[in-house]
Amino acid sequence: MNDLTPRYLRTWLPYAYGSVLLGLFAWVWAYTFIEHLIAVEDGALYYVLGKALYLGEGYVSINTPAATPVTSPPPGYPALIAATMALWSSDMIAVRTANAGYLGGAIVLLFVLFSRLHGGRHLAFVATLAVVVNAHLLHKSMLMMSESSFLLFSTASLLLFTYLRAEETFRKPHIYLLLLGLVSTYHIRTMGIALVVAICLELICQRRWRYVAFISTGFVLSSLPWYLWGRSKGGNAYVGQLFSVDPYQPDLGSLGLGDLLPRVLENLQRYIYREIPDGLLYYVDRNWKAGVNTQDWIVGILLVSLATFGLHQLTSHRRLITFYLAATAGVLLLWPPVWVGTRFLQPAIPLLLLGATIGLFALGRRIVRAINEAWVFHPLMLLPVLCIYGPDVMHLRWLATETRLPDNWAQYLTMAEWVADHTAPETVVACRKPVLFHLHSGRQTVIYKFTEDSEVLIEDLKHNGVDFVVLDELGYTSQQRYLLPAVAEHGDVFPPVHKLRNPNTWLMGFQPDG
């Protein structure tokens, strides 16, 4: 694309745009930061694993009685948490603030990457600004979750690839940094394998065989320790979850070949009418209980078409981006449908926003030229379109200033604090969110066994040395399906100890031997 910016402005313009993006992000993040946001269970697990690494305990769940070795999630993000604890603070606010640093770094790199992919700094600025105000990316950066660090390292890897010279030389550091970025991305989230596949396919298409050999061999050797660790501890849990009918109902078994195509089609439809529109346009949760309407399909199809049209306009590395999005989609379409939401889509959101921005610009330019060929449609004229994100940002602000924890979660954490004050340090508690309960109680915790056989469930509690069981109203069906029937059937084994009302949260003793 021709850049109409005067030559004397082009030198400092990237720095000016980068400063504006970074400054605006810092303000928006601070403006919308939800201080009272509790850690979700995955985030709590990341924190516990990071703390274990920081304390030198190894890659184990230090909340469990036996300090159970962990095979998922991968250790990349916990290692970053451990580094934050070592260099700064172990406070959870510090860990969450470090996430803001990862997302801020990713935003700067995305601006540079977008500029190189399309050749226009103004358009790259608009597309990156859409990333800055995307409420999904903002919200996840406020949690102790891996999305922001994954986006940073995956973007760095893509950017480094664009700097590889045509000749295969190992004298420059880019190829070594690229391998480091790929290995880091994969060890932060297993989804990083999609980026590795994409880059290897692109190198194969370019017939750069020495680079293919170096990247593939280096990646396998670097990932081998994590693979061997998982295998020695019973295998990677993600693989079992990926091919299970329902991870929350293990009794249903694994996915059969006849179930594969229906799952892919179900996920594909949902991503079109729900996840992609939500990820690019909406943050406020919509009521999906009412079903899907025609408008959802129209918006989804238009967005997918617009992003595809825009990405087709890329002037550089279009095939690489296509490989990356296709590999990411391949994993997402195999994912169990019970896991809905935009979390798994988030690595692709910036690239989809880039495609949508380029698509809008191409359409706008054609419309303007059709009206008058002398008129120029400048990329910055797209800035008013970003006002559609205003309600999302204000919703995050409202959550930060006008809301508090839902009563059921507040009662759950209050019960954890009661346990901290009224039980012995060696106490073991079985509950639905064991890592989160551990963070607020300081007690060892386990999750009850997902089985409808009450005798098996009780034996598992005995095996883990459980002293108390928590009955909550968090809304998870596993409690109604597995734990409550066991408590109802063996009431003498579970004497009540403490109760919080409205909503009810019970602490039950566990006395299998009377």
| pLDDT single digits (tens) 433-484 | 999 999 999 999 999 999 999 999 999 999 999 999 999 999 878 898 999 9
Instruction: Identify the residue with better confidence: 40 or 152.
Output: 152
481 and 395 in a common domain: no
Q: What pLDDT is stored for residue 356 in this prediction? A: 96
Q: Note whether residue 87 is domain-resident.
A: yes
463 and 383 in a common domain: no
Q: Pairing mode, if any, of strands 444-446 and 60-61?
A: unpaired
Q: What pLDDT is stored for residue 271 in this prediction? A: 94
Domain count, the chain: 2
Instruction: Identify the residue with better confidence: 249 or 159.
Output: 159
**Residue that terminates a domain, selected from 370, 401, 432:** 401
307 and 413 in a common domain: no
For the cut 80, the answer to whether the pLDDT of residue 168 exceeds it is no
State which amino acid sits at residue 243: F
The predicted-structure confidence for 203-244, as pLDDT tens digits, reads as follows 999 999 999 999 999 999 999 999 998 888 776 666 666 667
For the cut 60, the answer to whether the pLDDT of residue 185 exceeds it is yes
Q: What pLDDT is stored for residue 37 in this prediction? A: 79
**Residue that terminates a domain, selected from 366, 401, 436:** 401
Q: Taking residues 28-40, what's their average pLDDT?
A: 88
The Cβ of residue 454 has, within 10 Å, a number of other Cβ atoms equal to: 17
**Using a CB cutoff of 8 Å and minimum separation of 24, what contacts does 422-425 make?**
422/498, 423/467, 423/468
Helices (H), 243-332: 257-270, 276-280, 294-311, 318-332
480 and 381 in a common domain: no
For the cut 70, the answer to whether the pLDDT of residue 285 exceeds it is no
423 and 340 in a common domain: no
Reported confidence tier of residue 5, pLDDT bands at 50, 70, 90: low
Nearest to 467 by CA among 425, 411, 511: 511
Residue 290 CA to residue 275 CA, distance in Å, equals 16
491 and 351 in a common domain: no
144 and 34 in a common domain: yes
266 and 324 in a common domain: yes
Residues present in the chain in total = 514
Residue 364 CA to residue 378 CA, distance in Å, equals 9
> CB–CB of 162/113 below 8 Å?
yes
- CATH code where residue 428 lies: 3.40.190
Residue 436 belongs to domain spanning: 407-509
- Provide CB contacts within 8 A for 428, sequence distance 6+: 65, 443, 444, 445, 446, 464, 465, 466, 467, 468
Q: Note whether residue 127 is domain-resident.
A: yes
Q: For 151-162, b where at least 16 C-beta lie within 10 A, e where not — what string?
A: bbbbbbbbbbbe
Q: What pLDDT is stored for residue 1 in this prediction? A: 46
Q: Note whether residue 9 is domain-resident.
A: no
**Residue that terminates a domain, selected from 344, 374, 401:** 401
Reported confidence tier of residue 366, pLDDT bands at 50, 70, 90: very high
211 and 67 in a common domain: yes
Distances (CA, A) of 14 to 50, 53, 109: 36, 39, 12
Q: Note whether residue 6 is domain-resident.
A: no
